[in-house]
Copies of this chain bind each other. A is one copy, B any other.
Amino acid sequence: MNTIGHLFRLTSFGESHGAAIGGIIDGCPAGLSIDTEAVQQELNRRRPGQSDLTTPRDEKDRVEFLSGLFEGTTTGTPIAFIVRNENQHSKDYSNIKDLFRPSHADFTYYAKYGIRDYRGGGRTSARETIARVVAGAVAKQLLAPLGITIQAFTSQVGPISLEKTYKDYDLSLTESNAVRCPDPTVAEQMSKLIREVKAAGDTIGGVITGVATGVPVGWGEPVFDKLHAQLGAAILSINACKGFEYGLGFDVNRRGSEVNDAFFADDHKVQTRSNHSGGIQGGISNGQDIYFRAAFKPVATILREQPTIDKDLNPVSVKAEGRHDPCVLPRAVPIVEAMTAIVLADAWLMAKAYSPVS
């Protein structure tokens, strides 16, 4: 379904080559002054054509708010927004109309729905994430006054990965390079690799790390809506995401005595000396940094000949033309941030609702 969240809820819509992409944010509290230009900036981070590492499609992607704001401030009513689809080359896709591209959702959509909008991937296009970024930008503005920051960055592209933890980098450098990696040297290596992959008509996978600081103690709703379970679902719902881990994650060849996070009190505040828990214990935030990693597969669309079948099950060959990302990572960074913000905004409202009575 196309709604996420219990109380801070995004319902999204839109296909790549339909009239518009957009969504409705329901449940954003009243009284929040929205900086629409900042929302547009987030959208610009997601936009194609930012560098030679991404698709050269020039999508303007201007967001228009249709409701929920009065004189720039949220009124507690649903905030609808649209981004008109422009500069779409429908003819680029006519050749794939009747066949199933390998590792795309062409087949599953066709099998499930009996019909598919094949133009540009339709609903499965990465353009769907526009709605996420807009809602995430609003969520960020909701959370900012609480002292919460949300940052993501590319931590691995193919074999090249950052060797240190997020604490060892200046995350403000993330936006200083096209690949969105806070280490400029590593970023250069990543960029070089992506260019090579692109030149080979191929694609490459990688990892994005996300960090949320300043999250108060007590967010997350056990047992099924543990904060990391909600985060995991939100991140995994992003196109091309194949894995999610937080804190210790898959680094499980460890002893309890080694990774338990010792509590101590610092200035009347409970802290932990290490943070293998990733800021979440028992599904509830503990006040430490929340950090996680998300795996992204290589984009399925490659500029090479590939064997597949058509709707009638005949073997055919397909070769993508047009403009495609050789690596999804750089543009996925703001999307990861957006989904994190949406989950945290929702978690905040839930925690408010469920505050103890005495």
The interface on chain A, measured as residues whose beta carbon lies within 8 A of the other chain's beta carbons, has a size of 152
Say whether B204 contacts A255, CB under 8 Å. Answer: yes
Say whether A244 contacts B256, CB under 8 Å. Answer: no
Say whether B82 contacts A223, CB under 8 Å. Answer: no
Question: In the assembled complex, how far is the CB of residue A219 from the closest CB belonging to chain B, in whole angstroms?
Answer: 8
* 5 other A-B residue contacts (CB within 8 Å) besides A18-B66, A108-B283: A2-B78, A109-B284, A204-B254, A252-B296, A276-B297
A139 CB-CB contact with B under 8 Å: no
How does the 8 Å CB contact mask read for A114-125 relative to B, with 1 for contact and 0 for none?
111100001110
Residue of B nearest to A29 (CB): B357
Inter-chain CA distance A246–B68, complex, in Å, is 29
How does the 8 Å CB contact mask read for A302-313 relative to B, with 1 for contact and 0 for none?
101011110001
Say whether B1 contacts A3, CB under 8 Å. Answer: no
Say whether B349 contacts A257, CB under 8 Å. Answer: no
Q: Given contacts A108-B281, A233-B230, A237-B223, are A244 and B243 in contact (CB under 8 A)?
A: yes
How does the 8 Å CB contact mask read for A235-265 relative to B, with 1 for contact and 0 for none?
0110000111111111111111111111111
Say whether B80 contacts A20, CB under 8 Å. Answer: yes
Question: In the assembled complex, how far is the CB of residue A30 from the closest CB belonging to chain B, in whole angstroms?
Answer: 4
Question: In the assembled complex, how far is the CB of residue A272 from the closest CB belonging to chain B, in whole angstroms?
Answer: 8
Q: Which of A75, A112, A282 has the most CB of B within 10 A?
A: A112
Residue of B nearest to A161 (CB): B253
Q: Which residues of B contact A151 (CB under 8 A)?
A: none
Say whether A22 contacts B66, CB under 8 Å. Answer: yes
Say whether A352 contacts B351, CB under 8 Å. Answer: no
Residue of B nearest to A346 (CB): B353
Say whether A282 contacts B105, CB under 8 Å. Answer: yes
Residue of B nearest to A278 (CB): B242
